[in-house]
Amino acid sequence: MGTALIYDEEMTKYKLLWVDPACKFEVPERLTVSHGALVESGLADRCVSVPVREATDAEILLVHSAEYLEAVKTTPSMSLEDLMEFTLQYGDVYFHPNIYHCAKLAIGASLQLVDSVMTGKVRNGMALVRPPGHHSMHSAASGFCIFNNVAIAARYAQQRHGAKRVLIVDWDIHHGQGVQYCFEDDPSVLYFSWHRFEHQKFWPQLKESDFDTVGKEKGAGFNINVPWNKVGMQNSDYLSVFFHILLPVAYEFCPDLVLVSAGFDSAIGDPEGEMRATPDIFAHLTHLLMNLAEGKVCAVLEGGYNLTSLPQSVCQTVHTLLGDPAPCPANLDAPCKSALESLQCVRSVHRTYWSCLRHAADLPTSCSTKHINTAEGADQEPTEESSQEIFWPPPMKRVFPPTRTAVVLPDDVACPDGCKRWSLLEHPDPQLCLSALVDKMVKNEICNGLVLVPDVSVAMICLAQHAVAALNKRLLVVCVGDGMVPIQGTEDGKTLVVHFSRKESEEQRGKHFITVHLTKGCGDASGFIQAVLSLLLPLGYEYDPGLVLLVQKPDSGVCDSMWRQLTGLLQGLAQGHMLVVMQEDERKHIGPTCSSLLGIAAPSLGQLHSLLPEDVEALERLRRRLTPDWKLLQTTVAEEPRGREEL
């Protein structure tokens, strides 16, 4: 199953015909450079190319009023003066004789993408479109947007394809107020948006873009706004919001389809966003969504106005949709104070609606970023930096190893399709055989692997030992199931062990040996997935290993879909270099594990029930103990550093 790419040059054929500083960045080159980069990198060739089409009136009317549609229909024949005047009734947008045509193609492209994904013709895909859509409203154009492509796509997926729950992830740096208004009272569409806000000083300067607009009536809780009150947000700020807000809620929501309002004005260098997240972060944002909705992810271009970071970000997204391992998320800092304030406010206001946030015991019952801290001067003059050009290294070339998945299986077990059997014959000593496999992974000749061994504990110790010796980088060991054996390297930080266990007795030993204790072990989906999303992933991303060892103990109690979720999510680390170790007789797990290693999306976990109170407490306790050492676990603004009063 492939990745669809939908693009048509026709959508470059309109532009601003007069002088308007507010609109000067929205240029046809945005599309030509993005598509050009996909062609040059060979990514376009690897995608299934799907033609665009024009949206019908009925489709436009799914979201927009007939009056507005009729008005836009008159624009192709307008004179320049008429167009200018017509434009004046809306904010930060322009019309052109060909924009109505392009706007219909932009919707049509989005719907073609939804059709391709929902019918299973492809697994996922991206539509490169102009004009963007997320600002346009029922009866109004706004912010370069004429019709709301993604909102129409969500309704269309529900009506035409029976999608019950649709998640819209708007990672564009502007608030898609048009999408918010459209689904405000609708619990079947969960809208998530982060956006530059600066205490309402930033366009579109709406109070309803703040964190406390959560949706209305039945839709309360299904609108999640994460306001950025400062510019310069970085990779760790974005990831923190994914780990501690979006992903926990998204898994609880359990969408049938994920639509991404994929604007790249949230990337470094963008003149509108002025943020500092690097293009490779979009590989991770994409990856982290790809196990939701059984992998049905449709990315539709919104903004992105830096003609260097835009194509880089588009390539990172498409690379990942195609299943290529993400680059290492290196050098993640702690999230900044302002980001933590936002995170805390959002989590606090949404705890009523989402059981995954209800536990957040460390949260004050109310918090606010409403009152601008005058000392910090939110109303900043453009900084030196924002007026200067910003430079960043281009993302590393993503080289895919010749073998994706190698397996070491008992002789009587057939090698699963798409995997390569790592023959014991060439390596008569089983221990050397496994070590050689690790070496190949470290050399990037093999991406990942599965080994079935007579004794997982013995194999784990040997593999860890060899990996640390062979590897110039850190090793992450994730062990699922009771009973832990000592692993070398946790004292000096060369290894990080995260162990999921039922037994309370298995206590944590130091910064690099962490036991996650859950009452039902891995048997309880709600508790386990929350621990994975908001504990294991932040730890893993901050640790930034060169190799992941994922060990399943016999009788771990982990169910099939959960195991595949875990295997899938962890592939965002270490450039996908992961070795899975299981007991020889666990044959029923071979198929599911290999499918995950091959990059096939995990089945969904179903709508999750509330966490067990004792697990909630245990997770919170653990998190509190670990936050001084692990910055990506922070969800609140740190109190004064502990050492202070001693000084």
Catalytic residue among 35, 64, 134, 135: 135
List the single partner that 144 binds among Zn ion, ligand SS9, none, CB under 5 to 8 Å by kind: ligand SS9
Residue 58 in tokens: 């009925």
Residue 134 in tokens: 């997320």
List the single partner that 203 binds among ligand SS9, Zn ion, none, CB under 5 to 8 Å by kind: ligand SS9
What does the per-residue mask of binding to ligand SS9 show for 119-138, with x meaning CB under 6 A? -------------x--x---
Q: How far is the CB of 26 from ligand SS9 (least distance, A)?
A: 7
List the single partner that 186 binds among ligand SS9, Zn ion, none, CB under 5 to 8 Å by kind: none
Number of residues that bind Zn ion (CB under 5 A): 5
Q: How far is the CB of 148 from ligand SS9 (least distance, A)?
A: 12
List the single partner that 222 binds among ligand SS9, Zn ion, none, CB under 5 to 8 Å by kind: none
CB atoms within 10 A of CB 119: 10
Residue 355 in tokens: 């059981």
* Contact residue for Zn ion among 263, 489, 545, 599 (CB under 5 A): 263
Nearer residue to ligand SS9 within complex by CB, 143 or 481: 143
Q: Does residue 172 interact with Zn ion by CB under 5 A?
A: yes
Q: Sign of torsion, CA 406 410 415 421?
A: positive
* Contact residue for ligand SS9 among 13, 20, 22, 424 (CB under 6 A): 22
List the single partner that 22 binds among ligand SS9, Zn ion, none, CB under 5 to 8 Å by kind: ligand SS9
H helix or E strand, kind and range, residue 592: helix 590-597
Q: At what angle do helices 99-118 and 66-73 cross, to 10 degrees?
A: 130
Question: Taking the mean position of all CA atoms in its chain, how far away is CA 638?
Answer: 25
Residue 516 in tokens: 């996650």
Q: How far apart are the first and last CA of the chain?
A: 61
> What distances in angstroms separate CA 59 from CA 63, 151, 191, 257, one per listed residue?
8, 11, 20, 19
H helix or E strand, kind and range, residue 5: strand 2-6
* Contact residue for ligand SS9 among 133, 219, 255, 263 (CB under 6 A): 263
Query: Strands, E, within 252-366: which ranges?
Result: 257-262, 297-301
- Placement of tokens 């708007």 in the chain: 170
Residue 141 in tokens: 């154009």
Nearer residue to Zn ion within complex by CB, 265 or 280: 265
* Contact residue for Zn ion among 265, 482, 524, 542 (CB under 5 A): 265
Nearer residue to Zn ion within complex by CB, 132 or 481: 132
Q: Does residue 273 interact with ligand SS9 by CB under 6 A?
A: no
Q: At what angle do helices 560-570 and 590-597 cross, to 10 degrees?
A: 30
Give the CB-nearest residue to ligand SS9.
Answer: 303
CB atoms within 10 A of CB 150: 32
Nearer residue to Zn ion within complex by CB, 174 or 564: 174
**3-class secondary-structure state, position 631:** helix
Q: Does residue 184 interact with ligand SS9 by CB under 6 A?
A: no
Q: How far is the CB of 225 from ligand SS9 (least distance, A)?
A: 16
What residues numbered 298-327 form the site for ligand SS9, per CB under 6 A?
302-303
Determine whether 135 is an active site residue. Answer: yes
Q: How far is the CB of 273 from ligand SS9 (least distance, A)?
A: 9
Q: Does residue 144 interact with ligand SS9 by CB under 6 A?
A: yes
Nearer residue to ligand SS9 within complex by CB, 144 or 282: 144
Nearer residue to Zn ion within complex by CB, 276 or 398: 276
List the single partner that 30 binds among ligand SS9, Zn ion, none, CB under 5 to 8 Å by kind: none
- Check if the beta carbon of residue 228 is closer than 8 Å to that of residue 321: no
Of 144, 208, 161, 152, residue with least CA distance to 179:
152
Q: How far is the CB of 378 from ligand SS9 (least distance, A)?
A: 17
DSSP 515-562: EEE-TTGGG-HHHHHHHIIIIIHHHHHHH--SEEEEEE-TT----HHH
Of 327, 371, 323, residue with least CA distance to 575:
327
Nearer residue to Zn ion within complex by CB, 303 or 538: 303
- Check if the beta carbon of residue 516 is closer than 8 Å to that of residue 498: yes
Nearer residue to Zn ion within complex by CB, 90 or 563: 90
Q: How far is the CB of 152 from Zn ion (least distance, A)?
A: 18
- Check if the beta carbon of residue 5 is closer than 8 Å to that of residue 50: yes
Q: How far is the CB of 91 from ligand SS9 (least distance, A)?
A: 8
CB-based contacts of 470, cutoff 8 Å, min separation 6: 435, 438, 439, 442
* Contact residue for ligand SS9 among 155, 174, 440, 494 (CB under 6 A): 174
What does the per-residue mask of binding to Zn ion show for 470-489, with x meaning CB under 5 A? --------------------
Q: How far is the CB of 600 from ligand SS9 (least distance, A)?
A: 33
* Contact residue for Zn ion among 130, 155, 174, 553 (CB under 5 A): 174
Of 543, 539, 526, 550, residue with least CA distance to 625:
539
* Contact residue for Zn ion among 133, 248, 255, 303 (CB under 5 A): 303
- Check if the beta carbon of residue 123 is closer than 8 Å to that of residue 3: yes
**3-class secondary-structure state, position 124:** strand
Q: Does residue 143 interact with ligand SS9 by CB under 6 A?
A: yes
List the single partner that 466 binds among ligand SS9, Zn ion, none, CB under 5 to 8 Å by kind: none
Number of residues that bind ligand SS9 (CB under 6 A): 14
Q: Does residue 204 interact with Zn ion by CB under 5 A?
A: no
Query: Strands, E, within 359-487: which ranges?
Result: 403-408, 420-421, 446-453, 475-480
- Placement of tokens 């621990």 in the chain: 531
Q: Does residue 228 interact with ligand SS9 by CB under 6 A?
A: no
List the single partner that 499 binds among ligand SS9, Zn ion, none, CB under 5 to 8 Å by kind: none
Nearer residue to Zn ion within complex by CB, 263 or 325: 263
- Scored b (16 or more CB within 10 A) or e, 48-60 reads eebebbbbeeebb
Alpha helix segments (H runs only) across 360-447: 384-387, 430-442
Give the CB-nearest residue to Zn ion.
Answer: 303
Residue 508, judged by CB atoms within 10 A of its CB (0-12, 13-18, 19+), counts as middle
In DSSP terms, which residues pair with 513 in a beta bridge? Answer: 497
Q: How far is the CB of 174 from ligand SS9 (least distance, A)?
A: 5
* Contact residue for ligand SS9 among 8, 92, 270, 615 (CB under 6 A): 92
Q: Using CB under 6 A as the criterion, which residues of the chain lie in contact with ligand SS9 when the complex forms?
A: 22, 92, 132, 135, 143-144, 172, 174, 203, 263, 265, 272, 302-303
Q: Using CB under 5 A as the criterion, which residues of the chain lie in contact with Zn ion when the complex forms?
A: 172, 174, 263, 265, 303
What is the set of active-site residues?
135
